[in-house]
Amino acid sequence: MNWDSWLIWGFAATIVLTTISSATQGLGLTRMNLPYMLGTIFTPDRDKAKLYGFLIHLLIGWVFSLIYVLIFQQLGAAGWWRGALIGVIHALFVLVVAMALLPGLHPRMASEQHGPEAQNMLEPPGFLALHYGVQTPLAILISHSVFGAILGIFYHLKH
Amino acid sequence: MASLRRLAIIYSVVLSHLDQAPKIQDYGAIGDCRTVALISRYGSIDWLCWPSFDCPPIFAALLDHDKEKGGYWVIAPVEVHKFEHAYVRNSNVLETRFICSSGSATLTDLMPVASEAFKRHNLIPDHELLRQIKCTVGQVEIEVRFCPRSNYGSTPVNIRSNPWGWRMDVGRGIYTLRGSIPLFIDDSGARATASLKQGDVLQFSLTYSEESPTVLPALGERARNAIERSIAWWQQWANISNYKGPYREAVTRSALALKMLAYAPSGAVVAAATTSLPERIGDTLNWDYRYCWLRDASLTIRALVGLGFMDEAESFVSWLLQATRLTQPELRILYSVFGRIAPVERELKNLSGYCDSSPVRIGNGARDQLQLDVYGEVIDASAQYAQHISRFDRSTQKVLIGLGNYVARNWDRPDEGIWEPRSGRRNNTYSRLLCWTALDRLLALDEKAVISGAPRELFRRERDRIRRQIETRAWNQELESYVSTLDGDDLDASLLRIPWYGFEDACCPRMQSTYRAVRKHLGAGDDLLFRYRREPSEGAFGICGFWAVEHLALSGNLQEAHREFDQLLKYGNGLGLFAEEIDPRTGDALGNFPQAFTHVGLISAALTLAEKERGQEHPAAKTGSDVKSSSPGAAA
């Protein structure tokens, strides 16, 4: 395990992932703002939530990149396509599993069964997060495969 | 053999009731803030879409003269002399009373609701419709016919009997029916008869789930508790209202109807619960209204904030500004409950339509239209809500200013306008008025420091240009009236909104003569108004009558405003529900039902009357910057 390489490229890949997520939102591909979703676990203040969420997302991205590099170490090889492939699997996990669990875990997110009480809550993501826009799965797939590809290209295996 | 003959007679008697196509006003609505079911006063559920408003219905008899084709679920005595229905006070729990020669029975229909706290501690179905019939006097023969159809009546539903009830797999969902008597499955669905004596009760629960294992709700005590809990929940909700003005009963019923049309998981409010109920019987003016129209935003917030439903107002404003982000700074006319662009419009050939008014349409073609007034609606709604907060967060400020910049660049374009005609774009006065409103409200928000960073000079300059254009080109000296389009000579009822947004004082000579011209040219008799002139004419437009009331109130003519309000209330159905339009010849309801736009119009008119009676400020005076409004109590 090459700790230095992981620390540097895990951080860099997470920054790129966050940047792509913001760009896909800005370009109108999706309404999904993952840092905002994470931040609102801790505060209802929209501005603060984005800041907290960014930091949490950075931390989580770093932790997830550790799993990527452990897989590279296990395989004995890295490379962009292996990283991108793990990224696709990661994205599918986020879309299919994590999004389905989120309304149950997030204290400020409504579920599809919410109602008739009206509290100002985050709307549920729905299957494949499609409630946040029909191109949301595409945005998640792109950002996570780029995340994996960066790690695959730049992470130096320790032999 | 004798019993078979008796059964045949029973079916034919029930069919004679069912063969009468109920009028639109014969329906009551029940809901759980995710969908609505329509129940005729004959005890038949003829419309139900699960899991949400715009999903394909399991019962759609409303849209075909052959009830069997669309699907329905009737529970009713075989021989009925009289039908009466009423809501349990201040609730969305519907009771239908059947008076028969041998006795009487009461059918209770509801979608059970509960607080989120209750739901955390109790296993309840994702979606449920509960029906209970009780014999209250003598003895009655009850008939149950359950005929589900999927995908707008195009696909039969296979009902399978299980030890715990009847199960139907439709698409990715499972419907489960449980009942306190056995049902017999036949080609068209399931049916049963039962003889009830005084005090006897039958219960049925229909649930829908997209997850297995599905929750199988118990009947008996559990169902009785669900009814009591739901009544209590609705009554508690209605009690949140701080309204102390006139027409409290009608206002509360309208608020309850509006609440039913709100989609709780996202905060959106749909325009109506149905598709393709016709604006003219037998004609093609049949549209799908199960989406959220931004056009309704300002009045919806006016109603929610004015009555004190701040949670609903906050959710709706949040939906308006966040769910529409994918198209911002441009706004579409309508969105789905999760902010998606409404589906492409298509016609369903297999349904003949309500009273043969075809085609039945799903999706809405107006999704591609340009309607510039929606910017003013969204910004005015935000400005009304902003009176109750100190400051919008930065991203909301950015959204609002982005909308303002779009208006400043585009207000001079022709558009389809509020009534969404499919005949092309025009320079609509109402669209200009709402563009003026958008910039005026943003300037006021900026002055109050609720937002910061707005390009004041640009907004002020463009707002003043719009004013000059309306004052010069939307005024027709010959008609002595504001007119629908710049340099035009047509009138439409939206001109009555000019004082409401504070552009003109309702008492000023121009508005007084505009009111007279609108009354003269668009009057449909009996205080009803057409929205515009059209040949052949459609129904009188429900909300336009309430706009006239509000105009009278704003100009200080409270006595006449009350008289007209009283008159208009007569056009609600017996339950206090309104459709989009009213047939001026017969008084029948026309168009989709129940209609949020009409109900928010009713609430807003009552609020304005109450405010004027208390000598309070014009609503726009609190939210606008360049508002012209009469002083409290000013005479016409």
| Residue B125 touches partner A, C-beta closer than 8 Å | no
Question: CB–CB of B395 and A46 under 8 A?
Answer: yes
Residue B583 vs residue B6, higher pLDDT: B583
Query: How does pLDDT run across B289-327, given as a tens digit for each residue?
Result: 999 999 999 999 999 999 999 999 999 999 999 888 888
Distance, in angstroms, between A131 CA and closest chain B CA?
6
DSSP structure class, residue B494? G
* pLDDT band (50, 70, 90) for residue B19: low
For testing contact with chain A, the best of B110, B338, B396, B451 (most A CBs within 10 A) = B338
A46·B318 Cβ contact <8 A:
no
pLDDT in tens, B56-100: 999 999 999 898 999 999 999 998 889 999 999 999 999 999 999
Contact B325 A123 (CB under 8 A): no
Task: Name the percent of chain A lying above pLDDT 70.
Answer: 100
A120:B318 CB<8 A:
yes
**Looking at CA atoms only, how far is residue A157 from chain B in angstroms?**
41
* Cα B17 from Cα B553, distance rounded (Å): 44
Instruction: List, in order of start, the domains of chain B with CATH numbers.
Output: 2-217+233-237 (2.70.98), 240-623 (1.50.10.10)
How far apart (Å, rounded) are the C-alpha atoms in residues B128 and B207? Answer: 4
**Number of H helices and number of E strands within chain A?**
6, 0
- Token pair in block for residue B312: 């609903």
Instruction: Please state the rounded mean pLDDT for residues B19-48.
Output: 93
Complex-level ipTM:
0.78
Confidence (pLDDT) at B630: 60
* B211 has pLDDT over 90: no
* B471-487 tens-digit pLDDT: 999 999 999 999 999 99
Query: What pLDDT does B350 receive?
Result: 92
Could you read off the pLDDT of A100-147 as tens digits, one per residue?
Answer: 999 989 998 988 888 888 777 888 999 999 989 999 999 999 999 999
Residue B446: which region, alpha, beta or left (left: phi > 0; alpha: psi -120 to 50)? Answer: alpha
Q: Which of B342-356, B588-602, B611-625 is predicted least confidently?
A: B611-625
Q: If you count them, how many residues does chain B have?
A: 636
Residues of chain A in contact with residue B292, where contact means CB-CB under 8 angstroms, are: none
For residue B156, give the nearest of B142, B145, B170, B135 by alpha carbon.
B170
pLDDT at B633 over 80: no
pLDDT at B109: 98
Q: Rounded to whole angstroms, how far apart are CA atoms B212 and B160?
A: 16
CA A33 vs. chain centroid, Å, equals: 10
In terms of CA atoms, which chain B residue is nearest residue A122? B266
Which site among A48, A101, A121, A123 would you substitute to test the B interface, given the most B Cβ atoms closer than 10 Å to its Cβ? A123
CA distance A98 to A107: 15
- SS3 category, B334: strand
* B462 pLDDT higher than 50: yes
Closest CA relative to residue B304, chosen from B331, B269, B270, B333? B269
**pLDDT tens string B428-461:** 999 999 999 999 999 999 999 999 999 999 999 9
Per the CB < 8 Å rule, is B265 touching A124? yes
DSSP E strand boundaries for B79-126: 82-87, 94-99, 103-110
More confident residue, B173 or B274: B274
Q: Report phi then psi at B16, rounded to 5.
A: -60, -35
Say if the Cβ atoms of A116 and B326 lie within 8 Å: no
Q: Which two tokens stand for residue B580?
A: 């989009």
Using the 8-state DSSP alphabet, how is residue B485 labeled? B
> Does B322 sit within 8 Å of A117, measured CB to CB?
no
Sign of CA dihedral A147, A148, A149, A150: positive
With pLDDT > 70 as the criterion, what percentage of chain B qualifies? 96
- Tell me the count of A-B CB pairs closer than 8 A: 86
pLDDT-derived band at B10, boundaries 50, 70, 90 = very low
pTM of the complete model: 0.91
So what's the pLDDT on residue B154?
Answer: 85
Average pLDDT of the segment spanning B493-518: 97
Interfacial residues of A (vs B; Cβ cutoff 8 Å): 25, 28, 30-31, 45-47, 50, 110-121, 123-124, 126, 131-134
Per DSSP, the three-state class of B29 is strand
Closest C-alpha among A118, A139, A158 to residue A17: A139
DSSP summary character for residue B344: P
Q: What angle do CA A64, A66, A72 make, to 5 degrees?
A: 115
**Of A110, A124, A133, which is closest to B326 when you measure between CB atoms?**
A133
Mean pLDDT value of segment B606-622? 91
Interval B157-205: pLDDT, tens: 999 998 889 999 998 899 999 999 999 999 889 999 999 999 999 999 9
Q: What average pLDDT does the structure give for chain B? A: 93
Instruction: Tell whether the model's pLDDT for residue B14 goes beyond 80.
Output: no
Residue of B nearest to A49 (CA): B393
Contact criterion met (CB < 8 Å) for B119 and A131: no
When pLDDT is cut at 50, 70 and 90, the band that residue A85 belongs to is very high
C-alpha distance from B171 to closest chain A C-alpha (Å): 15
Instruction: Provide the residue count of chain A.
Output: 159
Could you tell me the pLDDT band of residue B8, with boundaries at 50, 70 and 90?
Answer: very low
| Chain B residues inside the 8 Å CB shell of A102 | none
